[in-house]
Amino acid sequence: MDLPIDLPITPMLAKAVKGVPAADSVEGGLSYEPKWDGFRVLVLRDGDDVELASRGSKPLTRYFPEVVEAVRAHLPQRCALDGEIVVRSGDQGAQRLDWEALSQRIHPAASRVAKLSAETPAEVIFFDALALDDDSLLDQPFRDRRARLVAALDGRTSATPFHLTRVTDDPDLATDWFTRFEGAGLDGVVAKPLDGAYEPGKRTMLKIKHSRTADAVVFGYRIHKSGEGVGSLLLGMFSSDGRLIPVGGASAFTMARRRELIDELADLVVRDDDGGALTGETERSRFSGSKDVSFVRLSPERVVEVKFDQLEGSRFRHAAGFLRWRPDREPESCLIDQVERAPSYDLDAVLGAR
């Protein structure tokens, strides 16, 4: 592939901040845009040669044949564009991003890939441009890269599975987006320096993500990959009819804390008649592959307060963060129906007019 930038290349990243920053907090000002929750992708095209490069080392090209076909049909002959692959679900007028449907697109069987490309077709939300035609845009300010991106996507129709993310220079509007757009499955807001270059692999952008707290019951733990200490706590909440529903896990402990948790939880380990610890297995996902999904069963007696970003269906979208034990809470009081959820918001309203 012959493009005016060095390949392979990694996308520009963002560092987390607590609130929407003021427009004048960065010299030259900031541009704000919605933070999409999908697979980050660098769409690379040189004629018929198309690659969907991921943030990691695993290309996405083979999993999204409908996107590759659309790239050849609708994008400039030579380009490198930054965006997010998403899948939507729901009835017309009440659609949202569907992370579960998107994650199922990563499948080893070619027949399954072809089937899902028709049943749950993906779309791409574009928000930056690294190269167009013979021009590298890496050293250009974002305001100029944005103008080139707008021109590159001109002429799209409603049938084209490509979208141009909306932007604003108004932090108050960005704050409004942060609140409203979560109901369509979005992840927050991103702020970019208007005069900033595109810096691959560097945390040049700012991201503002949702954060909430909830109480959950610990029903098991996984051993850390090192073989020593607790790797993650498995969390559940009760349904209205008394069923314990797995909602996710909490990890990111220090090694010292991992060892301490083994001792803290020892009395809760469920054991067989011979005194051995009983184990179970969680459901495998598209991303677990051959990883060990076994866990040590615990009696569901301890309640923990965790922080999380979104509850999607009955699962935390990302791993939760451990905050503290809640000895004042009864396990049965941890009801999934009481967890705060964002009001629904239609995805098409986020995307706006083409």
Q: Which residues belong to the active site?
A: 35
What is the 8-class DSSP label of residue 284?
A: P
- Write out the two tokens for 181: 């757009």
The residues that bridge with 46 in the sheet, in sequence order, are: 49, 78
Q: What are phi and psi of 115, to 5 degrees?
A: -65, -45
CA distance 345 to 181: 6
CA distance 55 to 42: 8
Closest CA to 298 of 253, 331, 258, 326: 331
How crowded is residue 176: how many other Cβ atoms within 10 Å of its Cβ? 14
What six digits make up the tokens of 176? Answer: 């409004």
Length of the chain: 354
73, two tokens: 């049909």
Peptide bond connecting 8 to the previous residue in cis, omega within 30 degrees of 0: yes
Rounded Cα gap, residues 42 and 14, in angstroms: 16
Per-residue H/E/C for 83-152: EEEECEECCCCCCEECHHHHHCCCCCCHHHHHHHHHHCCCEEEEEEEEEECCEECCCCCHHHHHHHHHHH
